[in-house]
Chains A and B, each alone.
Chain A
């Protein structure tokens, strides 16, 4: 089963904005709005940051936003803070697999 394509790493300085891309196909990201993003600090439970492409769960900072264009979804983090340093994973519904959800390969965000 293939994964969605994310950059291995991104970096930014405190106060800056960064964007993480997540590229799939028309069978997943491009065809449906079931795109979500998770933040994962090592040793901690993953945390849902964005769902349905651009919705934030209660309690998630509005510095986190999501969008989608064609087969590519994006997570933007504005006003970067040191605590944002973590791994970020996109996920999407897919019609291609029996288990119809897949993750991206993950992106390591470094706050310089």
Chain B
């Protein structure tokens, strides 16, 4: 059974950093492009980052570019999101998600985790 489990969320002060992890099981992480998506309170879902199978191609939404870094450890089946210079508007539930297609991107995700909550507040 495919499972994605996010961790690493919590309360952090503005300007601080957090590193989110997404542990994958039931499939080989190295075979799939992966996403991070966030859901801020009272707002909609937003794609914020994507990484290819090797980690050599990474893309970011303008709202996080230069502050967030997506990476992966295929040997340990884990996806990461390093979040620096956090702002109040980064407060959200963060989900990792698997691209539908194996080996490439189909621009949608078929498996999602339950998310980890990040709160940026002083």
Contacts and interface: CB of A to CB of B under 8 A. Distances in A.
Interface of A: 1, 3, 34, 36, 38, 40, 43-48, 51-52, 57, 89, 91-93, 97-106
Contact of A34 (B46, B49, B65, B106): B106
Nearest to B112: A45
Interface string B15-51: 0000000000000000000000101000011111110
B59 A51 contact: no
Interface in B60-114: 60-63, 65, 95, 97, 100, 106-110, 112-114
B47 A101 contact: yes
B53 to A, nearest CB: 17
A102 B44 CA distance: 11
A50 B109 CA distance: 11
A51 B45 contact: no
Contacts of B100: 48, 51, 57
A99 B106 contact: no
Which residue, A57, A98, A101, A103, has most C-beta atoms of chain B within 10 A? Answer: A101
Interface residues of B, number: 27
A93 B91 CA distance: 25
Given A46-B95, A98-B60, A98-B65, A103 B47 contact: yes
A47 to B, nearest CB: 8
Contact of A98 (B37, B45, B59, B106): B59
Given A47-B112, A103-B44, 19 more contacts: A40-B39, A45-B115, A46-B37, A46-B97, A46-B112, A51-B100, A51-B106, A91-B107, A91-B108, A97-B61, A97-B62, A98-B61, A98-B65, A99-B61, A100-B59, A100-B107, A103-B46, A104-B44, A105-B44
